[in-house]
Structure 1
Amino acid sequence: MAGITMRSWATPLTIGSFLLISVAGILMFFEWERGLMTVAHQWLSWFLVIGAAGHIAVNLRPLKSHLRSRWGKASVAVFAALLAASVFSWGMITGPQIKRPIEQALVDAPLSALADVARTPAGDVVQRLAAQGIAAREGQSIGELAQASGVDENRLLAIVFGLD
């Protein structure tokens, strides 16, 4: 495969993945998370990491020179401090922190409780599931149904909340 150098793929990969991740991140910031936006942002960010690593490898000498400058040192220090600070919640409860416990509570709750949350009669929830070929009882949880039926928990929640 002559002609394929690190420079020939690293820079285009960095540029393309940067555009993808930054546009997805901006849309997510404004809570426009449709389809697979969040999943794409999380998983395709690896392409940015790979592209940036290749770009850094190709441009290592200029990078070292830049890092010896006052601006280079300052930029690394500022972003390292921001990264370190972002690890802590500083007493704030954020959406991502509360999302997982809420999801787990929904998965563990009986269908009758989920029906109340969805403002739907429990019998209707059981019927929605039956219409999708999933035999369920009001006392079962989404977690139990997922194990018994082999259907993903998110898919089952979508059926319960009428998002299917």
Structure 2
Amino acid sequence: MITRISRDWATPLTVGSFLLLTVTGVLMFFHLDTGLNKLAHEWLSWVLVAAVGLHLASNWPAFRRHVKQRRGRLLIGAGALVLALSFVPASLVGLGSSEPPFVAPARVLAQVPMPVLVQVAQSQGIPESQLRARLTEAGLPSDGDDSIAARVGSDARRQIQVLASVLATPPAGRS
């Protein structure tokens, strides 16, 4: 039964999902992804996780043989080491900030005084009254000239959420 699962489901599912993740991953690496590539890569990776789990379960004796051999232990250990190192902040090893690249400009925008944010909003077709109404809806006082950062604090995630909600423009054809 377990061997049948491997032949009928686990191996083809592993290969198919690996192919999908490889192609979408390469496209994302070279910034050539379009449409639903990123979404498919992120969510369908769970299919690969399940497929590998099935494949591993149905090939357990062979896996155990690999773990008993020096080469198998070294390769699995190398993978585990690379995984562990991937959690080290990039800034600790001199590779710059570990924040995504969009965070720095968002932080700057969150620090501008309200009159400047009004100008940015107006350049997107959002009048000042609507911007201030959106701030109130976001639970922030709409009076005064304080920046978004002064209103929500230094939490970049919260700053970005507020900026996204107050500067969102309706899709084309809708108002």
TM-score, L = length of structure 2: 0.62
Identify the residue that residue 126 of structure 2 maps to in structure 1.
125
Map 1:92-131 onto structure 2 (within 5 A): 92-94=96-98, 96=100, 98-99=101-102, 113=117, 116=120, 121=123, 124-126=125-127
Compared CA separation, residues 113 and 53, structure 1 to 2 (3 A):
same
Residue 90 of structure 1 and its aligned partner are, at CA, apart by 3.7
Stretches of structure 2 that go unaligned for 5 or more consecutive residues are 139-161
Identify the residue that residue 64 of structure 1 maps to in structure 2.
64
* 2:76 alignment partner AA: V
* 2:24 alignment partner AA: A
* Matching residue within 140, 159, 163 for 2:169: 159
Compared CA separation, residues 155 and 61, structure 1 to 2 (3 A):
farther
Identify the residue that residue 54 of structure 1 maps to in structure 2.
54
Residue 6 of structure 1 and its aligned partner are, at CA, apart by 1.7
Compared CA separation, residues 31 and 83, structure 1 to 2 (3 A):
same
Identify the residue that residue 39 of structure 1 maps to in structure 2.
39
CA distance in 2, matches of 1:22, 1:114: 43
CA distance in 2, matches of 1:56, 1:114: 57
CA distance in 2, matches of 1:143, 1:73: 58
1:114–1:160 contact (8 Å) kept in structure 2: no
Identify the residue that residue 86 of structure 1 maps to in structure 2.
86
* 2:132 alignment partner AA: G
CA distance in 2, matches of 1:34, 1:9: 29
1:125–1:160 contact (8 Å) kept in structure 2: no
CA distance in 2, matches of 1:30, 1:138: 36
Identify the residue that residue 6 of structure 1 maps to in structure 2.
5
Residue 99 of structure 1 and its aligned partner are, at CA, apart by 4.0
TM-score, L = length of structure 1: 0.65
Compared CA separation, residues 74 and 157, structure 1 to 2 (3 A):
farther
CA distance in 2, matches of 1:30, 1:101: 22
2:126–2:167 contact (8 Å) kept in structure 1: no
Aligned-residue CA RMSD (Å)? 4.0
Q: Secondary structure at the match of 2:82?
A: helix
Identity level (%): 31
**In the comparison of the two structures, how many residue pairs are matched?**
142
Compared CA separation, residues 51 and 81, structure 1 to 2 (3 A):
same
